[in-house]
Homo-oligomer: A and B are copies of this chain.
Amino acid sequence: MSTTAVDVTKQTRKDFVSDQDVRWCPGCGDYAILAQVQKVMPELGVPRENVVFVSGIGCSSRFPYYMNTYGFHSIHGRAPALATGVKLARPDLSVWIVTGDGDGLSIGGNHLIHILRRNLDVNILLFNNEVYGLTKGQYSPTSRLGQITKSSPMGVVDQPFDTAALALGAGATFVARTIDVEQKHLQSVLHAAVEHKGTSFVEILQNCPIFNDGVFSEVTDDDGRAYRQLLLENGKPMLFGPESDRKGIRLSREMRPEVVSVNEDEGIDEDILVHDVANDAKSFFLASLDWQTAGAQPPMPVPLGVLRAVDRPIYEQSVHGQIDAARQKEAAGDFDRLFATGDSWVVD
């Protein structure tokens, strides 16, 4: 029997569901993310055999087993390296990296910043639950100051990374943030990530009901949804808050963020910042909004959506471009010529 290709246009969500038992805890935010990813997949128009999911180790990194695509559940922190090999060797594949805040930012931090600067055309989904789930609840590089965990019985004293700021600082060409429970938003961010040519970095805030339950409830509960989500849209002013109480963000003379009330009917003040995914300073500014520090007044909203999206040469294209150029050389690939280079001589 020979292999059979799937008709791309007819792929459905089910085609991306593997036969493996899903082994996350009941209520884990990972389920929702999996469902959205499986939903978005058929819309990409890529046959599933051309899709590869690569992960490290962690609860989140079990992800590839549940996707009926090619998959590599590698070792802790190394998914970006493995994925780089997969993509560079086969630029035609659609390559996805799934990682966690521990896997991607702790042990795997170096590979992450390097893949971001190189800008391969891959998609990175970082499930940030601000804790190590698989190893049963130690703090992670995104855990907040003071958090009590098994390894921080008196509270975390390590300043957490701001994931988006780190990615921007590393030179990422696409940085976005979304939340496990915001299905529509998650979908739209996944679409944007796929559309971006270059490395797409998506941080997904994810609830771990077992070891860090409710860590994002401040922005996901009813109040939070209304008052604390800054939904970014390119070219649109930065507004948030419920209909009845809209607010906007502007820059003070000292280049500090200010939250001001806005009445959309009366027109939006010129001062309100307009989002521009291609403006470095704005992206960094958004990343530096401190939405996590408890009790800040007024509390800052969490920027959601695409913080940055810029075009830059794509790594694998540059690499293969050089190879293609070199192959134009006379005698390219001729081993007999190669062996005779240098100072060769004949003994007869």
Chain A residues packing against B (C-beta within 8 Å)? 106-110, 113-114, 117-119, 141, 154-155, 157-162, 165-171, 251, 254-257, 273, 276, 279-282, 284-285, 287-288, 312-313, 315, 318-319, 322, 325-326
Contact = CB atoms under 8 A, between A and B. Distances in A.
B159 A171 contact: yes
Nearest to A107: B110
A36 to B, nearest CB: 28
Nearest to A161: B117
Contacts of A276: 254-255
Nearest to A108: B110
B254 A279 contact: yes
Contacts of A169: 162, 165-170, 287
B114 A141 contact: yes
A28 B108 CA distance: 34
Closest 8 CB pairs of A and B: A169-B169, A284-B284, A157-B318, A110-B110, A280-B288, A109-B110, A255-B281, A154-B322
Contacts of A312: 159
Identify which of A118, A167, A257, A284 gathers the most chain B CB atoms within 10 Å of its CB: A284
A319 B156 CA distance: 9
Contact of A171 (B161, B167, B322, B326): B161
Counting chain B CB atoms within 10 Å of each CB, which of A165, A280, A326 scores highest?
A280
A110 B167 CA distance: 13
A284 B168 CA distance: 10
A319 B110 CA distance: 25
Nearest to A167: B169
Contacts of A154: 322, 325-326
Contacts of A322: 154-155, 157
Contacts of A109: 109-110, 113-114
B256 A159 contact: no
Given A110-B109, A154-B325, A254-B276, A165 B159 contact: no
B254 A157 contact: no
Given A113-B161, A280-B288, 10 more contacts: A107-B110, A109-B109, A109-B114, A117-B158, A157-B318, A166-B169, A166-B171, A169-B170, A169-B287, A280-B284
A255 B285 contact: yes
A251 B281 contact: yes
Which of A255, A288, A326 has the largest count of B CB atoms less than 10 A from its CB? A255
Contacts of A158: 117-118, 315
A117 B256 contact: no
A171 B254 CA distance: 20
A344 to B, nearest CB: 22
Contact of A282 (B107, B255, B257): B255
A254 B283 CA distance: 12
B170 A166 contact: yes
13 contacts: A108-B110, A109-B109, A109-B110, A113-B161, A117-B158, A117-B161, A157-B319, A158-B315, A161-B171, A166-B171, A168-B169, A251-B255, A255-B279
Contacts of A165: 168-171
